[in-house]
């Protein structure tokens, strides 16, 4: 019969308690991790569902605009992910008419193919919202020497002068062409007029005379 001192029994007791804590700790960790990954696997089913009237994708055609056939091939995927609106920033890819045709890039979309794309998008249930820049981000227009007189600062092509009646006239024509084109395809409920990042403001004499603040 082995002889155990009270001290030895005390050490053994501590080891048993420590082991018990370790088992509980490992079990708890496993449950937490399993629950976390389970939620991840289930697509975070407990997260509240966000209900939005519109889920809109911004198609920005500056730089390297995609072919319309490719954009059309994306429509089913966008729809599958809950997208129901397209915000289309044409830049120089819109097929402008008349004197405004200088705004259209050499490889701008042809009217026929653009009409076909928009018709397909509308038929798939997408709301179409053209984005027409009217203040900043006007490089696609103001880079042309013929329109240089509309620049707020003659050295920069980004911002149009908001005080000149000629700016208003120009913008009305540009917006008018885009609205008329879209209305022949489907009712147009919204347009987006840009107005972000107007980096040059209150530079020209006309604007300064109005004594407006930069804000």
Catalytically annotated residues? 197
In angstroms, rounded to a whole number, what is the distance separating the alpha carbons of residues 77 and 74? 5
CB of 101 to Zn ion, least distance (A): 26
Nearest CB to Zn ion, comparing residues 186 and 206? 206
CB of 203 to Zn ion, least distance (A): 7
CB of 158 to Zn ion, least distance (A): 13
Nearest CB to Zn ion, comparing residues 150 and 174? 150
CB of 193 to Zn ion, least distance (A): 18
Residues that bind Zn ion (CB under 5 A): 152, 161, 163, 204, 206-207
Task: Characterize the bridge pairing of strands 85-89 and 56-60.
Answer: parallel
Q: Which position has the token pair 């084109």?
A: 181
**Cβ contacts of 81-85, under 8 Å, gap ≥ 24:** 82/55, 83/55, 83/56, 83/57, 83/126, 84/54, 84/55, 84/56, 84/125, 84/126, 84/127, 85/54, 85/55, 85/56, 85/57, 85/126, 85/127, 85/128, 85/129
In angstroms, rounded to a whole number, what is the distance separating the alpha carbons of residues 83 and 100? 32
Nearest CB to Zn ion, comparing residues 71 and 198? 198
Nearest CB to Zn ion, comparing residues 5 and 155? 155
């Amino acid at each position: 019969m082995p002889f155990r001192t009270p001290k030895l029994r005390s050490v053994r007791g501590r080891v048993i308690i420590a082991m018990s804590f370790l088992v509980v700790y490992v079990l708890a960790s496993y449950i937490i991790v399993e629950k976390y990954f389970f939620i991840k696997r289930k697509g975070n089913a407990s997260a509240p569902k966000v209900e939005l009237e519109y889920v809109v994708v911004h198609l920005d055609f500056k730089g390297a605009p995609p072919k319309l056939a490719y954009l059309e091939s994306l429509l089913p995927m966008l729809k599958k992910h809950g997208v129901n609106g397209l915000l289309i920033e044409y830049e120089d890819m819109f097929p402008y008419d008349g004197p405004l045709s200088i705004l259209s890039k050499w490889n701008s979309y042809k009217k026929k193919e653009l009409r076909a794309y928009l018709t397909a998008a509308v038929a798939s249930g997408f709301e179409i919202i053209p984005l027409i820049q009217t203040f900043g981000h006007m490089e696609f227009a103001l880079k042309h020497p013929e329109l240089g007189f509309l620049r707020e600062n003659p050295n920069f092509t980004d911002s149009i002068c908001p005080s000149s009646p000629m700016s208003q006239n120009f913008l009305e024509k540009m917006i008018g062409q885009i609205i008329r084109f879209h209305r022949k395809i489907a009712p147009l409920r919204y347009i987006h007029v840009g107005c972000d990042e107007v980096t040059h403001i209150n530079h020209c004499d006309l604007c300064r005379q109005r004594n407006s603040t930069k804000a």
